[in-house]
A and B are shown apart, each in its own frame.
Chain A
């Protein structure tokens, strides 16, 4: 049973436009959500996070939105850059330090 779902395996966006990556979850007890970015042959790197008590967190070009009633999380990247091309993983935490990851969305930003 996949508790964290990223239903879009891939996304292609033109440079300068907004990239929106989506994530849905099933467990209302998750208390923290994170986005990780992964380049080929490298481990995931932390990008941005949000506590379940907030609905928005912004860091430069990256903004994460949380809609608890819909159990939906999204990552907005604006403006998108070619260097943003990577696989993005959504992750959720359940009262421990163990993270449950989604299957990832491959973002390609083209010139």
Chain B
């Protein structure tokens, strides 16, 4: 079966523009996560969706960042008024896990965002 897919694979934008990054999780996975990896840094948690519960947005770095998950499947991460420090690889992951379990998260290939 297909893994987690993300689009676009690369995005170059100008400072101040809005961008949308898309994630298609593995079919049937109820949990979806967004992370980002800046140059020389580890993976930084951004947001977590689990089923119909309210998302855990505790990792979003500013109110310019938002994400939604439609129909419990596809998710879009939106960054408004992009800044150069937003440049990073944005990774999406999904898992079957109900809360509290330790099920594996499966990652997509990421979207490399470059803000000029």
Chain A interfacial positions (CB closer than 8 Å to B) = 2, 4, 6, 32, 34, 36, 41-46, 49, 51, 89, 91, 93, 95-104
Is there contact, CB below 8 Å, between B35 and A101? yes
Contact of A44 among B97, B100, B102, B107 (CB under 8 A): B107
Q: Which of B77-112 contact A (CB under 8 A)?
A: 91, 93, 95, 97, 99-110
What separation, in Å, do the CA atoms of A51 and B105 have in the docked complex? Answer: 16
Is there contact, CB below 8 Å, between B91 and A44? yes
Is there contact, CB below 8 Å, between B45 and A44? no
Kindly state whether residue B113 has any CB partner on chain A within 8 Å.
no
**B50 partner residues in chain A, CB cutoff 8 A:** 97
Is there contact, CB below 8 Å, between A45 and B43? no
What separation, in Å, do the CA atoms of A97 and B108 have in the docked complex? Answer: 17
Is there contact, CB below 8 Å, between B110 and A103? no
Chain B interfacial positions (CB closer than 8 Å to A) = 4, 31, 33, 35, 40-45, 48, 50, 56, 58-59, 91, 93, 95, 97, 99-110
B92 CB to nearest chain A CB (Å): 8
A71 CB to nearest chain B CB (Å): 17
A-B contact pairs, 30 of them (CB 8 A): A6-B42, A36-B107, A41-B109, A43-B4, A43-B107, A43-B108, A43-B109, A45-B106, A46-B106, A49-B104, A89-B42, A91-B43, A93-B102, A96-B48, A96-B56, A96-B100, A97-B31, A97-B97, A97-B99, A97-B101, A97-B105, A98-B33, A98-B56, A98-B59, A99-B33, A99-B105, A100-B45, A101-B35, A101-B45, A104-B42
Closest chain B residue to A38, Cβ basis: B107
What separation, in Å, do the CA atoms of A34 and B43 have in the docked complex? Answer: 13
What separation, in Å, do the CA atoms of A6 and B41 have in the docked complex? Answer: 11
Closest chain A residue to B45, Cβ basis: A98
